[in-house]
Structure 1
Amino acid sequence: MDVELPRPTTVSATFRAAARVIAANGHYQGDFVPDPFDREMCVPHFLRPMSMVAALKAAVTGDPHVTSLLADEAIAVLALRLEVGGEMGPYYGDIFSLEEHIAAWGDLPDRTAESVICVLYAAGDAAEVAA
């Protein structure tokens, strides 16, 4: 019997759920998931290692490629918290720039799953305090 976990309903819960996704599946750099066009793998995308952006989407929708308003809100909040190349947040505020900023942070060569998980939990705590 499959039991579906409840989906998060707040930004802070989304960050914590995404951290659990990364902890369970692993962190992936370079794309949302490895082999996104299923040329070499037959593992469902939600079970593959994934980027932070994909984990945020998967935490809310169950699919790392499907977006939602809650996932987009969490992406916006997280992008403004992360420093990449001396810049806090992206230059533009559209969703693609926000996602790219998070991806750039997660794709740094020494980025580990542990550091990603810690940042997501810290963002969840900060969002809880700010709420």
Structure 2
Amino acid sequence: MKKKHPLLRFIFIVLIVVAAYFIYKNYNIPKTTAEDLAFEFTNNIENANENYLQKEIKLTGEVKALYKIMNTRQVLELSTNPGMLPIICFFKDKADEYEAQKLRETDIITVKGICLGTSEYSYVRGIKIDVISFSKE
């Protein structure tokens, strides 16, 4: 009876661990709506920062507007309830900016991105999201 090579076993275990980490990292992303995120940042910013700041999230909401800031950057604003902070999505990729131009007001989209939170010193008032990808529902 042949013994299996220990190196093959080790490689197999490493592959299983890497696959498990990849699945955990990509499918364990917090999901929320634009209204819920805006409510949390407006009413309890400390808790919102703890839950979302610098983390990858999936955000579903209605397109409110698509416009350029300072005539340079195309941004997407998602609808939130009156009195709540707006959600501003910044595109990292020119291809995504181009695709976003096809969106219309009231389209429902899901944005995957990094939540940058709010900053009182920023020229844009609201909750900022760096878009990784988006899809129309």
- Scaled to the shorter chain, the TM-score interval is under 0.3
Structure having the higher helix fraction is 1
Structure having the higher strand fraction is 2
TM-score normalized with structure 1 length: 0.27
TM-score normalized with structure 2 length: 0.26
Task: For CA contacts below 8 A with separation 6 or more, give which structure has more relative contact order.
Answer: 1
